[in-house]
Amino acid sequence: MKRIIIFGIQTSTKKPFMTFIHSIISWATIKRMNQIELFKKYPVDVQQEQLLNLIKTASNTEWGLKYDYSSITNAGTYAQRVPIQPYPGFIPYIERIRKGEQNILWPTDIKWFAKSSGTTADKSKFIPVSKESLEDCHFRGGRDVIALYASNYPGESLFTGKALAIGGSQQINKYENELYYGDLSAVLIENLPFWVRLLRTPDKKIALMEEWEEKIELMAKNTINENVTNISGVPSWTLVLIKRILELTGKKSLHEVWPNLELFVHGGVSFTPYREQFNALLDASKMNYLETYNASEGFFAIQDNPETDSMLLMLDYGVYFEFVPVENLDEEFPKTYSIGEVELEKNYALVISTNGGLWRYLIGDTIKFTSKYPFRIKITGRTKHFINAFGEEVIIENAEAALKTACERTGAEIREYTAAPIYMSDKRNGGHQWLFEFSKIPDNLEHFAEILDTSLKSVNSDYEAKRYKNISLGFPTVEVAREGLFYDWLKERGRLGGQNKVPRLANNRDFIDRLLEMNKKI
């Protein structure tokens, strides 16, 4: 009898593969949940251990020698010695690694780079991906999604079918020196264990297609007859796929196509504006939703409790976290706070040190803590995605909360949106201009804008103060985008794909002016 070995366990090929995988995952879930409980109970100790392990591992790299890592014994010394910096500070080192040099930022060989254009700059970032960051961070995060979901829904049948992953659309590219780059989805797919690939759909050739429109078409046609039990992706692009599948099949609900579908794993943008649209296209009573926080730089948090919309900060992935109060970001040497020093409901910029060789890296995201012990967070926005032209300090969290209220009270549904300041002039005071692509337009746009304005005042005291009697900030202007405008805009910029997102807020008019110009052309 032919036998194979998976996870070090020998099994007959005659044994049903799915049943075997289910039993392995169940065993691994129990073991992993014990480890998760440990870092929930001792978060400060676990984070201290992560930092010292990172420093010890990298002590003989060029970076480690530069900052004398061998003499660092605590977080205080580390924070004093190593500067906080965003991606541009690492470019000279990463460029050398891309040319084949090693032992620069991290001791093990770097063969892969996650290419990320982000939403704050046109220039691409190339994030080093070490074998440790793949195994101990990205892949562990994926496994923990399963573990945490299974612990909350032990009777569900997630593993009886396949996972549909709507990732990026960047093929793996090869440097001349046997190094490779692609977007994170491509890098992960290329390095997945074979047994995981058997549980995914569509096949790699379709999943990594660069032409997004053709890719959606082929994904729809090639997955219709699969037994899909779970989907992962950015909500906006997932909706595009769902609608195409319903068009092809003539069905009204996605559960008519995939009756065993039970889970949508989402991230990248807030799910709040999309929830009602999802519920309209599937049987909401059969669906569970789970949010994750993962990026090219690492996998950071997972929603561990379905009763809350916060995410558990994963503290044992080879990532050391520091937090800078947003109001101190402009200081030359802003003070950082460790996990044991943070305050609840305070807006922090995230600083990470990783097992991929990023050291005190300002990733560009802002978060707030909603609980301690365990430490749960919400993503509140980006350090560069806000509107503060008049001191109003509107962040994405404010916008999402206000829009949720506006939609609930008017019956509106929003597909995409962005907002930017209207600058003061001799003829008018300042204001905010909102551009919405509605999937269901409100009957009265003026009423919608009034609720948006009132809701923003209720969640942001700075906005409320600036709106007082319209002295410095006028009533918001609402524009309606034609159908497909944001899709066309992303396509024009070469940004179609699951990992590319519309910037929700901007402190300048760079995005919105081009969108408004395109909106005039039908």
SS3 string, 140-180, reads HHHHHHHHHHHHHCCCCCHHHCEEEEECCCCCCEECCCCCE
Residue 435: which CATH number? 3.30.300
pLDDT (tens digit per residue) in 425-458: 656 678 999 999 999 999 999 999 999 999 999 9
Token duo for residue 268: 């990248």
Q: What share of the chain is helix, strand, coil (3-state, %, to 5)?
A: 40, 25, 35
Residue 203: which CATH number? 3.40.50
CA 272 vs CA 20, 202, 340, 415: distances in Å: 37, 27, 30, 11
Whether residue 186 is found in the same domain as residue 280 = yes
User: Would 225 be classed as within a structural domain?
Assistant: yes
pLDDT score at 500: 64
CB 299, CB 363: distance < 8 Å: no
Whether residue 157 is found in the same domain as residue 296 = yes
Whether residue 392 is found in the same domain as residue 268 = no
User: Would 196 be classed as within a structural domain?
Assistant: yes
User: Would 234 be classed as within a structural domain?
Assistant: yes
pLDDT score at 5: 39
Whether residue 275 is found in the same domain as residue 149 = yes
User: Would 197 be classed as within a structural domain?
Assistant: yes
CB 351, CB 361: distance < 8 Å: yes
Across residues 144-163, what is the average pLDDT?
A: 86
Which of 256, 283, 302 is at the close of a domain? Answer: 302
User: Would 62 be classed as within a structural domain?
Assistant: no
pLDDT (tens digit per residue) in 277-322: 899 999 999 999 999 999 999 999 999 999 998 999 999 999 999 9
CB 34, CB 40: distance < 8 Å: no
pLDDT (tens digit per residue) in 94-112: 999 999 999 999 999 999 9
Query: What mean pLDDT is reported for the chain?
Result: 88
User: Would 155 be classed as within a structural domain?
Assistant: yes
Across residues 82-90, what is the average pLDDT?
A: 95
Any bridge partners for residue 431, and if so which? 422
pTM of the model: 0.79
Which of 302, 323, 345 is at the close of a domain? Answer: 302
Which of 265, 284, 302 is at the close of a domain? Answer: 302
Q: Which domain holds residue 143?
A: 133-302
User: Would 11 be classed as within a structural domain?
Assistant: no
Percentage of residues of the chain with pLDDT beyond 90: 61
CB 399, CB 385: distance < 8 Å: no
Whether residue 179 is found in the same domain as residue 278 = yes
- Between 225 and 167, name the one with better pLDDT: 225
What is the distance between the alpha carbons of residues 398 and 279, in angstroms, rounded to a whole number? 24
